[in-house]
Amino acid sequence: MELRQLEYFVAVAEERNFTRAAERVHISQSGVSAQIRRLERELGADLFDRSARTVTLTPAGRAALDHARAALAAAGAVGQAVGEVTGLIRGRLGVGMVVGCTVTPLFEALAAFHRAHPGVEISLLERNSDRLVEAVRAGDLDVALVGTAETPEGLDALTLVSERLVVAVPPGHPLADRRRVTLEDVTAHPLVCMPPGTGLRTLLDRACDARDLRPAIALQAGAADAVKDLAARGLGVAVLSASMAEGPDERLVTRTIADVTDPALLALVWRGTSGPAVREFLRVARGVFGGGADGEVRPSLPDAGGPGGSG
């Protein structure tokens, strides 16, 4: 039994799909399938039920999963323990980034970390914010850049951007002529917004639920530019964060949603028990993003795409 086989087993179990698991571990699908078959032969039992479209664990697979995760964690801890003694940081750093969010300082932090610690293998994975948060909680990612309405439970966070929700509408739209726009005003019209699982959508849904409002979601798109373009064509009222709606676009007028004061956040999240590679990356990230002595980050992020980017 090899550690890589356990890694592939855990990846398939969590992704519930051999193709996505192969993308996650950066080998071919046939390679993942072959290693899982070898592991099953060695254990004398099928670990997955492959009869349906979604791969599911068999009873034997469920029994093995926690032990496989523990074995991988223990193997990682060996390297971390030696690194803490010798001062040498090595191993892997799994970084998540919300889909469609181009934050140049994140890439600068990754590059600076790589220059300082070339022995650490860095991987970068794009997903919606909710999936990234769960991956960090499960230990599949070490740190992730997510859009969120609050610090995820059980994780530590470094807030990079905190912004209000706004709407964007074409000139001549009824909301464009209002000085003060409330959420009730906004939800009187069809909306164009981010999909479920994104930080902005979570904030919007919570605000509507608190006011017993039931918005009509006309269209959903995973990129701010797409949301704005759809709104500019009169297909709905765009709901975005402030920086997402910025830009010299004469097709749109923006208004802050006056009674939604909870901010949309763009944050790095990680587990408090993370090892030296994560701690060192966070130290580098704070320097690149401009963190002050109080831990707050006050960057200018023109490429951020707003809290959560698309997520």
Residue 151: its pLDDT value, please? Answer: 84
Q: Which residues of the chain have pLDDT under 70?
A: 76-77, 79-90, 100-102, 291-311
pLDDT at position 59 is 92
Give the type of residue at 178.
Answer: R
Stated pTM of the model: 0.63
- Phi (first) and psi of residue 253, to 5 degrees: -115, 135
> Could you tell me which of 164, 191, 167 has the C-alpha nearest to residue 265?
164
**What is the reported pLDDT for 289?**
83
Q: Which of 187, 241, 189 is nearest to 212 (CA)?
A: 187
Residue 252, pLDDT score: 92
Q: How far apart are CA 240 and CA 242, in angstroms?
A: 7
Please give the angle made by the CA atoms of 252, 253 and 255, to the nearest 5 degrees: 140
